[in-house]
C-alpha cells in the first residue's frame, strides 16, 4: 500500500503501463505549467474533486474546461510534483483505477484516479486529490510518535501531568485558543482530536455536563443506525467486539473516554452566548458561560460543530398555548416511560418519528403518527448488505478495504453522478423487500425513493431528511399497531391535535419530529442574522430536488470548507463524514494557524439563505 | 495468515513439503493414539511447550521421553486433529519454522513449530501449542460481534443501559460472580476484559478509588520502561500517537477508560479482607469491604492479581523507631517535592531506587544511594533496539510482526534455552555502551549481567529484580551527582543511616527501595499461611541462580495456571505477560465455569515456600 512502484519496471502496453504513462504525462504537463495540456488529458465528461490539496477548498470541477480553470488559477502556487502509484493500477470493465501519492510545495497528498478510453487514448474520468499532511507539520504518529518520557537528568523536568494541568489552567485565561470549536459531540470531538494531533491550540466547548451527554440525553431506545465500520473516529478505532449498531449510552461512554485519551482540550457545561469577528484584528470575540461564569475567548477561527441535526425546527401552531399535555421537539423527547397508557401523537414520519413511535408503542402508549409528506424507508439489513457492504463491513475489512481506503473510494465518486451508482442499489432493495413495501402501502403509508429513485444516501446529502432506516417500527405502522394519520396540523386544542382535513387526534403528548433547520441558523443565534445570511444555507448539493434547490453546487454547501464569512467554519455530519472531513478541516485550520498561504479557489456564491 | 494451505499442492522435497509431511505424520500418530511414534518425531534435545490446549496447564516437556509422557497422559482425552499450516513453512539456518492451527475435542488452537535435521530426517526441536478458543464458546468479535440493537418491536425490550444498571445492582448482591479477581491494575483489568468477552460472570475489585490509581499514585516521574508495542492490552490497542514510554498518569487514564469501554465489572474502593475455600461447596467465602461497608462474596474461583510487585519487602532495622525523619518503602514514596534541600538516603540500587534518586536529585535533594549487591544496568535505547526491536517495535509492526504474532514467537522459545538467545544480545549491548559501563565502574558501582550473562529479561523471569533500565539516572551515579555507598544497613539513628562498615549517612528521609516478596505472601495475608505454604513460591523458573533456587521448573512458578490450592490462581507480570497469559488464564476459568473437564497434566510439586 505505501510502497511506490517503479514506473520503469512494468510492460509498455498493459493497463498498468498505460496508466503509468498517463500519470507521467500529466505530471509533465503540470510541471511545465501547461494547464491546457493537463486539462486535455481529461475525458469530455470528467470530474476532478480536490480536497484542499490544490484549491484550499473542497471543490469539484467538471470536464476539461473546469480542469483548465482550476489549474490556471492554482497550478503555479501549488507546485505539484512526484506523482506515483502506490499500488499497481488495475483495469476492470473498461475503467483503470489507480491509487497515487503526490506532493505540493507545502504538503503531501493522496489520490485516486479512474481512467477510461476515449478517442483512442486513456483519459481521466474521475480524479480525486486529497491533502494528507503539511510539510514540516507532520503528525507525531507511528515511527514519529512522541517518546513520552524525557530520558536523562534534568532539574527543570515537568511531568506529563504537570504540563496537562498547566495547560488546562492557562487555556482560555492567559493563553487564547487559536481555534474555538463550539459543540462537542462526535463532530467537535473528532475535529478536536485532529487539531490536538496537529498541534493547533484549540478548545472544544459544549453545553452538556460530560462528553457523550449529547447521546446519553436522547430517547432511551436510540442506537446508531449506521454500522460500526462506518462510525470509527479518527486515530482510535472501535475494538472488534464493538456492536454493529451501538446503543446511545455506549457511544456516550466511548466519546467521553476518547476525549480523555486523545487529550482534547474540552470544556463541559460551557455555552457560547455571542460572537463577533473583527477583520482588523483577525479575531473573534466570543462570550461564553463556563459553569455559569462569564468569560471572553478570542480565537482566530470559529468552528460551529453544533450538528447538522442540531437546531430544532419546531412548528408554530395555533393552540400550542392551550394544549394541556406535554409537547416537545423530538430532540427533547424524554423517552417513553412517562407515557404508558397515554395517547401520543407524533408529528412526522422520518427516523426520529419512527424510533419514538416504536418506543412509545413498546411502553403501551396509544400512538398515532402524522405523516405530512412521503417518506423513504429502507430496511437496515438490506441497507447494510446492499448499500454499504462493499465499503464498510466485516467483509470489506477482510478484503483489504480499510476504513481509510473506503473513505477515499467513497469520496472519489463525484456528487454529480453519485445518484447513478445509487439507483441500482435501491432498485435491488425495493425488489428484495417488495412484500414489506406492499404491506406499508396497503396500510396507507406514502413511500418514496427520492426524487430520482436514488434512495437514502442521496436524500441525506441533499436535504438530510426524508427517510427512515427501518429497525422494526415500520412493521408497527404496516399492521396498524401504530396508527397513521395524514396531512398538515391545523391547530391544537386543550386535549388534541387537529389536522387540516378536520381529523381530531386526542393527545396527552405531542412530539414534533419535525426535523432541523440549516446550520447557519446557529450563526444567526450566536453571531447575527447578517452573518448567517452572508454565509447562506448550509448542507445540500443544489440538486434541484425537494428541500435542495439549485443551482448545482458540486459539493455540500459550506461544510468543512471556507465560507463567505472569513474565519467561520461548519463541521458535522454523520460519523463517517465527521471522521473523514475533519481531516481536511483540521489541515485548513492548521495551515492558517502557522501562516501558510491558503488562497481559496472556487468559493461559491450564496444562492439560498436557509 | 488465516488461510489454510492445501497440503497436496506443494512439491515433495523442499522444506515446505518436508514440513507438511512431518505435520501429517505427526497428526497420524496422534490420531492413531501412538504416543511413542509421535514422541519419536522429536529431536533428542527438544521441547514441547503447551499453553492449556493439551495439558490444561502451562507446561514444557523435554525430549522424546517428555513428549511421550505428556501424550500418554493427555492424548486420549484431548483428541487433537486437523493440524494445518497457516502460512508456508520457511527454512533458515537449518531450522524450518511453521505456524499452524489445530483442533482438540473441546477447542481450537494455534501453534508454532521449529524442525531441524537429525539422523537424516526432520525432527521437532521446539513445538508450541496454545489454546485459542473453546468450541461453542467463541468470542463475539469481528463477524461474530454483537448486533447491539435488537431490531423489531418488543414490548419487553430493555436497553443496554438498563441491562448494565441491572447487572451492576445485582452483582455481588443477588448474583454471585463466578470468578473474583482481587487487584484491578493492568493485570486484573486485562483479565477482566477477557472474562467479560468470554461471558464469564466475573468481578474485579481494587482498593483504589478509580481504575488507574495504581499508577497515578506512584512517584511522579514514573513512566513505563517498556515500549508501547510491548504494552498493549487485549482487544483495544493504544492508538499510533501513543508515546513510546507512557507517563504513569496517562496509563492511569487509559486503564480507567478501558475498564469502562470494555464493560468490565469493577468495584473501586473495595478491599478483600479474608478468604477461605470450602472443598465441599466448591466456593470461596471472601469478606470484602466496599466503600467501607462489609460484604461477603462467594465466587468459585479466586484470582490474586495484586501484582508480582505488589507486596512490599520492608526491612526491619534497629533504630527505625527512633529515626525522626520520613521513612517509607519505594511503593509509598510520595515523590520528590517535599525533599528539596533535604538529605535523602535510598536503600537499594534497582529500578525504583534509580528512578527515585534521579527525581530527588532533580528536585535539589542531597541524595545517597546505598548499593547492597551488584545490579544489572542496560540503557533503554539499547534495550529497545537490540533486545526488543525484532518483535516489539514500529519496525516489527511494519514487517508484519503483529503484537499477537510477537507474543507467540516469544512464547515459543523454551525457558530452558532462552538464556542462550539472550546472552549474545547483552554482549552486543555491553560492547555498544562500553564507555557508559566504564564510567559506572569507575564511580564504584558494582555491575553484573546476570549469573550467566543473559541479562535483563532472564533476571526478570527468574527473580523479578536485580536490574535498572537506565533512562538517565545512571549518569548521576557515574558522575557523583548522586552519591554512592555500599553494604547492608546496620541500624538507623535519630538522624542517620549507619551501614555495616560504620559509614554514617545523615538523612532527613530514608526510602527502602528494597523490592517485593513472593505473591504467595498475598495468599498468606488474605487466606492463611497454610494455603500460602501449600502453594509455595510464586514466580521464577528454578534456574538455580540468585533468588531463583532450583530444581528446574520449566515454567514460571504458579503463574496463570493451576496451583496446589484448588480454585486459587495468580495473575500478573509486565504488560506483555498480562496481555498474553490472561488469554490462557481466562480460558481455564471459562472451561471451569461451563463444566468442561480440565484434567491438569504436570502440576508441579512445591519446593520453596517463598
**What's the pLDDT tens digit per position in A478-532?**
999 999 999 999 999 999 999 999 999 999 999 999 998 889 999 999 999 999 9
Q: Point out the residue among A142, A149, A243 whose CB comes nearest to the CB of B145.
A: A243
- Grid look-up 489445530 returns B102
Taking the model in full, what pTM does it have?
Answer: 0.94
Number of residues assigned to chain B? 610
Taking the C-alpha atoms of residue B100 and residue B91, their distance in angstroms, rounded to an integer, is 15
Mean pLDDT to the nearest integer, B350-372: 95
Residue B2 main-chain phi, psi, to 5 deg: -100, 0
Between chains, do B153 and A473 touch, taking CB under 8 Å as contact? yes
Partners of B151 on chain A (C-beta within 8 Å) are 380-381, 471-472
Find the closest chain A residue to B242 by CA distance: A145
CA distances from A329 to A352, A512, B203, B336, B392 (A): 10, 4, 41, 56, 53
Q: Point out the residue among B139, B160, B476 whose CB comes nearest to the CB of A250.
A: B160
Mean pLDDT to the nearest integer, B235-255: 96
Each residue of A279-314: pLDDT tens digit? 999 999 999 999 999 999 999 999 999 986 657 899
Between chains, do B235 and A235 touch, taking CB under 8 Å as contact? no
Mean pLDDT to the nearest integer, B64-74: 98
pLDDT at B417 over 50: yes
Quote the percentage of chain B above a pLDDT of 90.
Answer: 90
Cell triple for B76: 486420549
Which region holds residue B415: left if phi is over 0, alpha if psi is between -120 and 50, else beta? alpha
pLDDT of residue B9: 42
- Grid look-up 418488543 returns B154
Query: Given the DSSP bridges, would you call strands A483-486 and B90-92 parallel, antiparallel or unpaired?
Result: unpaired
Q: Are B571 and B579 in contact (CB under 8 A)?
A: no
Taking the C-alpha atoms of residue A494 and residue A413, their distance in angstroms, rounded to an integer, is 52
Between chains, do B220 and A476 touch, taking CB under 8 Å as contact? no
Whole-number mean pLDDT of chain B? 94
Partners of B235 on chain A (C-beta within 8 Å) are 239-241
pLDDT at A3 over 60: no
Between chains, do B473 and A153 touch, taking CB under 8 Å as contact? yes
**Residue A386: its H or E element:** none
Q: Are B288 and B272 in contact (CB under 8 A)?
A: yes
Cell triple for A394: 466485516
Between chains, do B151 and A381 touch, taking CB under 8 Å as contact? yes
pLDDT of residue A12: 61
Find the closest chain B residue to A242 by CA distance: B145
Beta carbons within 10 angstroms of residue A125's beta carbon:
23
How far is A501 from chain B, CA to nearest CA, in Å? Answer: 30
Taking the C-alpha atoms of residue B209 and residue B197, their distance in angstroms, rounded to an integer, is 24
Which region holds residue A520: left if phi is over 0, alpha if psi is between -120 and 50, else beta? alpha
How far is A83 from chain B, CA to nearest CA, in Å? Answer: 23
Between chains, do B239 and A244 touch, taking CB under 8 Å as contact? no
pLDDT of residue B370: 98
Partners of B149 on chain A (C-beta within 8 Å) are 223-224, 243-245, 247, 471
Partners of B152 on chain A (C-beta within 8 Å) are 471-472, 475
Query: Given the DSSP bridges, would you call strands A343-347 and A366-371 parallel, antiparallel or unpaired?
Result: parallel
Cell triple for A18: 498505460
Each residue of B144-189: pLDDT tens digit? 999 988 888 888 888 999 999 999 999 999 999 999 999 999 999 9
Each residue of A259-286: pLDDT tens digit? 999 999 999 999 999 999 999 999 999 9
How far is A253 from chain B, CA to nearest CA, in Å? Answer: 7
Q: Are B79 and B4 in contact (CB under 8 A)?
A: no
Cell triple for B83: 493440524
pLDDT of residue B78: 98
Find the closest chain B residue to A263 by CA distance: B250
User: pLDDT-based confidence at A65, cuts 50/70/90?
Assistant: very high
Between chains, do A240 and B235 touch, taking CB under 8 Å as contact? yes
Cell triple for B115: 524442525
Q: Are B1 and A400 in contact (CB under 8 A)?
A: no
User: pLDDT-based confidence at A1, cuts 50/70/90?
Assistant: very low
pLDDT of residue B12: 61
pLDDT at B4 over 70: no
Taking the C-alpha atoms of residue A155 and residue B361, their distance in angstroms, rounded to an integer, is 8
Between chains, do A148 and B236 touch, taking CB under 8 Å as contact? no
| CB-based contacts of A496, cutoff 8 Å, min separation 6 | A504, A505, A506, A507
User: pLDDT-based confidence at A331, cuts 50/70/90?
Assistant: confident
Between chains, do A243 and B155 touch, taking CB under 8 Å as contact? no
Between chains, do B155 and A362 touch, taking CB under 8 Å as contact? yes
Partners of B472 on chain A (C-beta within 8 Å) are 151-154
Higher pLDDT, residue A610 or B90: B90
| CB-based contacts of B543, cutoff 8 Å, min separation 6 | B451, B458, B462, B550, B552
Q: Please give the distance of CA A328 from its chain centroid, rounded to a whole number.
A: 27
Between chains, do B151 and A257 touch, taking CB under 8 Å as contact? no
pLDDT of residue B8: 42
How far is B324 from chain A, CA to nearest CA, in Å? Answer: 28
Between chains, do B246 and A141 touch, taking CB under 8 Å as contact? no
Q: What is the dihedral of CA B395, B401, B406, B408, to 10 degrees?
A: -170
Taking the C-alpha atoms of residue B219 and residue B354, their distance in angstroms, rounded to an integer, is 12
Q: Are B461 and B541 in contact (CB under 8 A)?
A: yes
Find the closest chain A residue to B253 by CA distance: A261
Partners of B160 on chain A (C-beta within 8 Å) are 247, 249-250
pLDDT of residue B309: 62
Rounded to a whole number, what is the distance in angstroms from the first to the last CA of chain A?
A: 43
User: pLDDT-based confidence at B310, cuts 50/70/90?
Assistant: low
pLDDT of residue B113: 98
pLDDT of residue A417: 96
Each residue of A199-244: pLDDT tens digit? 999 999 999 999 999 999 887 788 898 999 999 999 999 999 999 9
Mean pLDDT to the nearest integer, B12-20: 86
**Is the bond leading into B68 cis (omega within 30 degrees of zero)?**
no
Of A294-308, B182-196, B304-318, B437-451, which gets the smallest average pLDDT?
Answer: B304-318
Q: Are B224 and B157 in contact (CB under 8 A)?
A: no
pLDDT of residue A310: 58
Mean pLDDT to the nearest integer, A420-446: 97
Partners of A148 on chain B (C-beta within 8 Å) are 223-224, 243-247, 250
User: pLDDT-based confidence at B101, cuts 50/70/90?
Assistant: very high
How far is A534 from chain B, CA to nearest CA, in Å? Answer: 39
Between chains, do A143 and B394 touch, taking CB under 8 Å as contact? yes
A291 closest CA partner among A275, A307, A313, A269 = A269
Chain A interface test: which of B133, B139, B145 (most A C-beta within 10 Å)? B145
pLDDT of residue A9: 42
Q: CB pairs below 8 Å between A and B: how many? A: 167
Whole-number mean pLDDT of chain A? 94
Taking the C-alpha atoms of residue B198 and residue B223, their distance in angstroms, rounded to an integer, is 32
How does B23-54 read in b/e, with b if 16+ C-beta sit within 10 Å? beebbebbeeeebebbbebbbeebbbbbbbbb
Strand partners, B124: B42, B115
How far is A269 from chain B, CA to nearest CA, in Å? Answer: 21
Partners of A358 on chain B (C-beta within 8 Å) are 153
Between chains, do A394 and B361 touch, taking CB under 8 Å as contact? no
Cell triple for A39: 486539462
Find the closest chain A residue to B259 by CA distance: A257
- CA gyration radius for chain A? 26
Partners of A146 on chain B (C-beta within 8 Å) are 241, 243-244
Cell triple for A512: 414534533
Q: Point out the residue among A146, A235, A261 whose CB comes nearest to the CB of B253.
A: A261
3-state secondary structure of A294: strand
Between chains, do B235 and A243 touch, taking CB under 8 Å as contact? no
Find the closest chain A residue to B481 by CA distance: A153
Q: Point out the residue among B147, B223, B361 whose CB comes nearest to the CB of A245.
A: B147
| CB-based contacts of A119, cutoff 8 Å, min separation 6 | none
How far is B199 from chain A, CA to nearest CA, in Å? Answer: 12
Between chains, do B147 and A249 touch, taking CB under 8 Å as contact? no
How far is B481 from chain A, CA to nearest CA, in Å? Answer: 10
3-state secondary structure of B44: strand
Q: Are B398 and B406 in contact (CB under 8 A)?
A: no
Taking the C-alpha atoms of residue A31 and residue A35, their distance in angstroms, rounded to an integer, is 10
Between chains, do A161 and B228 touch, taking CB under 8 Å as contact? no
Of B126-140, B489-503, B514-528, which gets the smallest average pLDDT?
Answer: B514-528
Q: Are A315 and A514 in contact (CB under 8 A)?
A: yes
Taking the C-alpha atoms of residue A389 and residue B304, their distance in angstroms, rounded to an integer, is 45
User: pLDDT-based confidence at A136, cuts 50/70/90?
Assistant: very high
Q: Point out the residue among B148, B153, B362 whose CB comes nearest to the CB of A475.
A: B153
pLDDT of residue A6: 45
Taking the C-alpha atoms of residue B255 and residue B112, their distance in angstroms, rounded to an integer, is 31
Q: Point out the residue among B145, B154, B381 whose CB comes nearest to the CB of A242.
A: B145
Q: Tell me if ipTM is over 0.90.
A: yes
Between chains, do A160 and B244 touch, taking CB under 8 Å as contact? no
Q: Point out the residue among B142, B160, B241 whose CB comes nearest to the CB of A240.
A: B142
Between chains, do B243 and A146 touch, taking CB under 8 Å as contact? yes
Taking the C-alpha atoms of residue B180 and residue A498, their distance in angstroms, rounded to an integer, is 60
pLDDT at B5 over 60: no
Chain A interface test: which of B142, B149, B211 (most A C-beta within 10 Å)? B149
**Is the bond leading into A500 cis (omega within 30 degrees of zero)?**
no
Amino acid at each position: 500500500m505505501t510502497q511506490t512502484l517503479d514506473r520503469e519496471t512494468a510492460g509498455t502496453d498493459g493497463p498498468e503501463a498505460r496508466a503509468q504513462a498517463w500519470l507521467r504525462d500529466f505530471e509533465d504537463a503540470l510541471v511545465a505549467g501547461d494547464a491546457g495540456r493537463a486539462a486535455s488529458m481529461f475525458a469530455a465528461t470528467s470530474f476532478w474533486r480536490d480536497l484542499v490539496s490544490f484549491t484550499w477548498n473542497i471543490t469539484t470541477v467538471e470536464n476539461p474546461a473546469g480542469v483548465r480553470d482550476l489549474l490556471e488559477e492554482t497550478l503555479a502556487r501549488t507546485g505539484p510534483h512526484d506523482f506515483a502509484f502506490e499500488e499497481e493500477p488495475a483495469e476492470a470493465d473498461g475503467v483503470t483505477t489507480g491509487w497515487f501519492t503526490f506532493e505540493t510545495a507545502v504538503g503531501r497528498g493522496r489520490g485516486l484516479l479512474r481512467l477510461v478510453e476515449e478517442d483512442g487514448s486513456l483519459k481521466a474520468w474521475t480524479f480525486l486529490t486529497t491533502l494528507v499532511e503539511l510539510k514540516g507539520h507532520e503528525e507525531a504518529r507511528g515511527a514519529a510518535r512522541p517518546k513520552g518520557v524525557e530520558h536523562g537528568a534534568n532539574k527543570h523536568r515537568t511531568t506529563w501531568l504537570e504540563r496537562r494541568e498547566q495547560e488546562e489552567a492557562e487555556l482560555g485565561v492567559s493563553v487564547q485558543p487559536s481555534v474555538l470549536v463550539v459543540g462537542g459531540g462526535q463532530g467537535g470531538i473528532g475535529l478536536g482530536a485532529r487539531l490536538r494531533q496537529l498541534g493547533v491550540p484549540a478548545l472544544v466547548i459544549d453545553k452538556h455536563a460530560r462528553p457523550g451527554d449529547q447521546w446519553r440525553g436522547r430517547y432511551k431506545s436510540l442506537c446508531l443506525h449506521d454500522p460500526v465500520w462506518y462510525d470509527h473516529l479518527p486515530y482510535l478505532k472501535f475494538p472488534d467486539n464493538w456492536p454493529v449498531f451501538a446503543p446511545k449510552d455506549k457511544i456516550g461512554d466511548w466519546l467521553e473516554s476518547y476525549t480523555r485519551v486523545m487529550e482534547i482540550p474540552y470544556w463541559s457545561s460551557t455555552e457560547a452566548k455571542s460572537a463577533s469577528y473583527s477583520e482588523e484584528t483577525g479575531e473573534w470575540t466570543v462570550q461564553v458561560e463556563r459553569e455559569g461564569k462569564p468569560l471572553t475567548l478570542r480565537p482566530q477561527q470559529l468552528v460551529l460543530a453544533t450538528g447538522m441535526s442540531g437546531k430544532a425546527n419546531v412548528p408554530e401552531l395555533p393552540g400550542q398555548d392551550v394544549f394541556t399535555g406535554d409537547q416537545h421537539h423530538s430532540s427533547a423527547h424524554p423517552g417513553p416511560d412517562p407515557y404508558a397508557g397515554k395517547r401520543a401523537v407524533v408529528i412526522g414520519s422520518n427516523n426520529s418519528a419512527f424510533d419514538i413511535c416504536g418506543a412509545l408503542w413498546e411502553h403501551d402508549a396509544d400512538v398515532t403518527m402524522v405523516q405530512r409528506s412521503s417518506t423513504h424507508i429502507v430496511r437496515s439489513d438490506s441497507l447494510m448488505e446492499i448499500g454499504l457492504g462493499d465499503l464498510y463491513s466485516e467483509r470489506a475489512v477482510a478484503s483489504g478495504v480499510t476504513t481509510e481506503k473506503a473513505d477515499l473510494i467513497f469520496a472519489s465518486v463525484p456528487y454529480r453522478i453519485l445518484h447513478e451508482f445509487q439507483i441500482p442499489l435501491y432498485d435491488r432493495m425495493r425488489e428484495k423487500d417488495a412484500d414489506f413495501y406492499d404491506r406499508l402501502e396497503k396500510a396507507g403509508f406514502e413511500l418514496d425513493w427520492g426524487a430520482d429513485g436514488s434512495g437514502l444516501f442521496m436524500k441525506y446529502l441533499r436535504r438530510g431528511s426524508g427517510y427512515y432506516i427501518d429497525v422494526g417500527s415500520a412493521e408497527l405502522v404496516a399492521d396498524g399497531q401504530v396508527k397513521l394519520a395524514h396531512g398538515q396540523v391545523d391547530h391544537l386544542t386543550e386535549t388534541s391535535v387537529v389536522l387540516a382535513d378536520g381529523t381530531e387526534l386526542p393527545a396527552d403528548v405531542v412530539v414534533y419530529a419535525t426535523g432541523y433547520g440549516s446550520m447557519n441558523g446557529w450563526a444567526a443565534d450566536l453571531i447575527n442574522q447578517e452573518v448567517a445570511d452572508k454565509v447562506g444555507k448550509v448542507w445540500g448539493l443544489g440538486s434541484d430536488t425537494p428541500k435542495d434547490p439549485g443551482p448545482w453546487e458540486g459539493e455540500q454547501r459550506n461544510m468543512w470548507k471556507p465560507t463567505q464569512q472569513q474565519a467561520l467554519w461548519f463541521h458535522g455530519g454523520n460519523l463517517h463524514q465527521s471522521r473523514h472531513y475533519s481531516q481536511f478541516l483540521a489541515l485548513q485550520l492548521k495551515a492558517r494557524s502557522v501562516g501558510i498561504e491558503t488562497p481559496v479557489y472556487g468559493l461559491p456564491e450564496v444562492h439560498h439563505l436557509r
